[in-house]
Chain A
């Protein structure tokens, strides 16, 4: 069973701080690594994504770092804001399949 392990389960950060969420995968054959943001009562929405041939991708305050040899990737949220409070899911797209494998989610709370 292909798995994506995500940590921490929950995270509390002060406003303006850096939020870091980590994911690790167990299968080398993944094509794509998206991060989704989910607010209560809503469906997940794509936040940022990276391909395995890239080591870092930055979009505004959000950065993905990807370490292929360690099979790990992480989401960094700079200058965290209360509006960032949500559950974040990493995901991986196995090669040759057309479905996401999701991590177990990280509930982020940013204190005002």
Chain B
């Protein structure tokens, strides 16, 4: 498709529950990025993929967060045992290459609320 698709739009979880978010990148884009936007608008890079391979995971909280991009499937970001501070909007972006001058196209985001 021509747009990055993210599902669900909203997700509500009780503290300690699992949350799983999905992202379908633009067709033909090899790179996928996940960002977390917290309430003060701050974006935090989480992880990036080159096709199904992790490219950069320096932003991922290793203990509870995991992500995958498998062939012929949407990419996913999973949070085990959610905490209140995980409440945020999670954006997925895709890009045709890793070049700095290639635009990262963002999806509409998934708003996660942890109660």
Contact = CB atoms under 8 A, between A and B. Distances in A.
Interface residues of B, number: 25
B31 interface: yes
A15 B44 CA distance: 33
A63 interface: no
Contacts of B35: 100, 102
A89 B43 contact: yes
A104 B41 contact: yes
Contact of B43 (A32, A34, A51, A100): A100
B40 A99 contact: no
B41 A97 contact: no
Nearest to A32: B100
Contacts of A34: 103
Interface string A69-99: 0000000000000000001010001010111
Contacts of A51: 101
B22 interface: no
Nearest to B104: A100
B106 A99 contact: no
Q: Which of A32, A98, A101, A105 has the most CB of B within 10 A?
A: A98
A104 B38 CA distance: 10
Interface string A27-56: 000011010100001111110010100000
Interface of A: 31-32, 34, 36, 41-46, 49, 51, 87, 89, 93, 95, 97-102, 104-105
Q: When A and B form their complex, which 8 residue pairs have the shortest distance between CB atoms, in order from nearest?
A: A43-B106, A105-B41, A102-B43, A32-B100, A31-B100, A93-B100, A99-B45, A98-B98
